[in-house]
Amino acid sequence: MKLARKFTLALVLLAVAVMAGLQAFQVNRELARSEIDTQHDHRLLGHTLAGSIGKAWQLAGEVEALTLLNQANRFQEQVRLRWVWLDGGPGSGFAPALPPALLLSLRAGNDGWLMDNTISPGVLRSYTPVFLGRRMGAIEITESMSEQEMHVRTTVVGTFIATAALSVFFLLAAMAMGRKLVGQPVEQLVHLAGRIGEGDLTARVPLRRERGDELTTLAVAMNRMGEQLEETRARLAVETAARLRTVEHLRHADRLTTVGKLASGVAHELGTPLNVVMGRAKMVSSGEAEGDEVNECARIIFQQAQHMTAIIRQLLDFARRRTPSRAPEDLSLLAERTLSLLKPMATKRGVMLSQEVPPGFTVEVDAGQFQQVLTNLVMNGLHAMNQPGTLRVRSQVLRATPPADVGGPEQDWVRLDVEDEGSGIPADVLPHVFEPFFTTKDVGEGTGLGLSVSYGMVRDHGGWIDVKSEPGRGSCFSIYLPPGKDACQAAS
C-alpha cells in the first residue's frame, strides 16, 4: 500500500473513531437527560395528583379518591397511575417487589424511582408518598420506555448516517489532500531515486521551496546529492583517465626497460647472420665466387637478411605502444614467441629455456600485455640463476579459489608456471615482491616496477599471480587466467 493511502486511511480511521466517540457520548448524554426529564415529569405529576388525592380522600373518602385516580388514567396512554399502600395494611394494592432501601426512603417521605427491566423494553416506576392520617400510601406512576427506546434508535441511526456521510466526505478530502501533499511529492522522489540509481545524475525533482515541509527538505537534499554525485563522477572520470594514462606510461616504460635489457642479447643474436652476410658478400665482390656459387651466396645473404629482419621486427613489436585489446590467443604460441625473444639472453647466461605448454590452450588476453608479463617473469628467473640450469614454462587447467583481492567462487583456471632454479626469495621478502618500486637488485639494475606492472596487467584480465619460493632451490611464479572456451577441451 502506498504511503499516501496509508496516511489517508489512518486519518480517516482516527476521524471516524473520534466522531463515533463523540456521537456515543452525545447519545448517552441524551439518554441520561431523557431519564432525568422523565423522572422530573413523574415527580411533578405525582405531587400534583398527591395533593388532589389527599384532599379527595379526606373529603369524599377512599372510593372517590381512587375513582379520581382511575379517571386520570383515561387521559394518559403512555403513563399508568396506581395507588399502593406502603405500610402493609389493607388497600387496593401493595408493592411487595420494592427493594427494602427504596421502601424505607418512601416511608420517610422521599420520592423514589425503580427501573423494571423484566418487561421489554423496560418500565420506569415512580413513587410519590401520600400521608393519610396514620397510614402511608403512594401514587405509582408507570411508564414504558418504548418511546425512549424509539428515540434512542432514531438518534443512533441519525448519528450513524451523519457519521458515515462525514466519514465519506473526510475520506474524499483526505485522499485528495494526501495525493497532493504526500502522494505526488513521494512519487517524484521515488522517480528521482530510480533515475539516479540508473545512472542519470542530471535528474532533478521540481518541488517548490516555499512549501517548507519535510518532503521539500528531502527533495532539496536529493537534488543536491545528484549534483554532488554528478560532480564526483566527472572528477572521478578525469582521475580515472589520468590514472589509466599513468599506468599505461608505467607499463610502456617497463616494456622499454625490458627492451634495453634484451638489446645485448639481440645484438649477439644478430652477430652470426651478419658475419655470414659479410663473408658471402666479400666472396662475391672479390670474385672468389663464380658461376653457381654467386647465386648460392645471394640466396644465403637473402636468407640471413630475412632472419635478422624477423629478429628486429620481433623486438620492435615488443617495444611498440599499442591500444590494449583482448582476443582469443593460443598460450603455446605466446610462450614460444616470448621465449624465442629471450633465448639469446638465456644462452648468454648458460640457461636452457624449456617450453612445456601444449598447443590448444586458449585464453582471452591482450597478446602484447601478456607477452610483457611473461617476459618480466622469465627475465627475473634468468637474473636469479647465477649458474647454468633450466627455466621451465608449463601450463595446466585446474580448479582454484581466487584470493580475497580478486574474489569469486572456486572454478577452473588456466595456470601458467614460470619455474627457475635460482637462489630463491627469502621469506621476509616474499610478501613484498609485487609492491611498486620494491627491488633487491643493485642500483641501476632494476626499477622495481616489473612484477608490480605484471600483477596489475594480470588483474586487468581477471586473474592473479601467485609465487612460491624456497631459498636455494628456486622460485615458481604462477599466472592464473580465466580459461577460454577451448582451454578445458585442450587440457582433457
| Segments making up each domain of the chain, as ranges | 3-154, 201-321, 326-492
Say what the pLDDT of residue 208 is.
Answer: 62
User: Could you tell me which CATH number the domain at 201-321 has?
Assistant: 1.10.287.130
Question: pTM of the prediction?
Answer: 0.45
Q: Which class would CATH give 326-492?
A: alpha beta
Q: Check: CB of residue 437 under 8 Å from CB of residue 447.
A: yes
**pLDDT per position in the chain (492 positions), as tens?**
465 666 667 777 787 788 778 877 877 887 778 778 888 888 888 888 888 888 888 788 878 888 877 877 777 677 888 888 887 654 445 555 678 888 888 888 888 888 877 777 778 888 888 888 777 888 888 888 777 777 777 877 887 788 788 778 877 777 777 666 666 777 777 777 787 777 777 777 776 655 566 677 777 777 788 788 888 888 888 888 887 777 666 666 666 666 665 655 566 556 656 766 777 677 777 777 677 777 877 877 877 677 677 667 656 655 555 556 788 989 999 999 888 888 888 888 889 999 999 888 888 898 888 888 898 899 889 888 888 999 999 999 999 989 888 888 889 999 999 999 988 888 888 887 877 655 655 444 444 567 777 888 888 888 999 999 988 889 999 999 988 654 444 433
The domain made up of 3-154 is a member of CATH 3.40.50.300:
no
